[in-house]
């Protein structure tokens, strides 16, 4: 894994990276939480661009320019609404992270910052969401994804702690010796 993974409590709209990943809704119309903050910071051009896309199904991603953000691109990832874990939420959340990384690679993005997708108003529990996010990213990096910097921009210390714990678990799992 050659990329540097950072876990920070930060306003994702202030990060100077190639792309930020927005926790968007299916209509791509902006909303509350991080989605609304990104739309406000990017300016009305982001909403206009999203309207031309025509929406995005849960578990999928789209990309726009960053407009007034320090980030060059916004990747819009539509995470699942938590329904108790019985509606394929884990797979849909992992698909958001996988899709964002694949889309970023196609656009030669080398630095990317992720919001904690689905953990706000969509209600996905923070700890399992962090394990999915970190596990998906580490798996992609281990498989050769060419990113220089991956940031998990968390909205709270609790979220950041869950991401740090998930990263420690991933690191420990990779360092365990295999059977002889």
Catalytically active residues are: 35
DSSP states along 43-82: -HHHHHHHHHHT---TT-EEEEE-TTSSSSEEEEEEPPPP
Looking at the chain, list the stretches that DSSP marks H as alpha helix, in order from N- to C-terminal side: 33-42, 44-53, 89-106, 126-142, 157-175
Q: Is the CB of residue 70 less than 8 Å from the CB of residue 109?
A: no
| Phi and psi torsions of 131, nearest 5° | -60, -40
């Amino acid at each position: 894994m050659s990329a540097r993974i950072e876990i920070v409590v930060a306003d994702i709209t202030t990060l100077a990276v190639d792309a930020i990943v927005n926790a968007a809704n299916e209509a791509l119309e902006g909303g509350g939480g991080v989605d609304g903050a990104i739309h406000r910071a990017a300016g009305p051009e982001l909403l206009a661009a999203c309207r031309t896309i025509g929406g995005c199904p849960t578990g999928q991603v789209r990309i726009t320019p960053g407009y007034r953000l320090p980030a060059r691109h916004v990747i819009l990832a539509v995470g699942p609404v938590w329904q108790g874990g019985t509606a394929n939420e884990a797979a849909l959340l992992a698909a958001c992270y996988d899709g964002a990384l694949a889309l970023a690679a196609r656009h030669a993005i080398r630095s990317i910052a992720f919001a904690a997708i689905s953990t706000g108003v969509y209600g996905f529990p923070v700890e399992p969401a962090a394990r999915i996010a970190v596990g998906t990213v580490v798996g992609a990096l281990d498989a050769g994804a060419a990113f220089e910097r991956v940031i998990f921009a968390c909205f709270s210390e609790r979220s950041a702690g869950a991401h740090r714990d998930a990263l420690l678990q991933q690191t420990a799992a990779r360092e365990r010796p295999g059977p002889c």
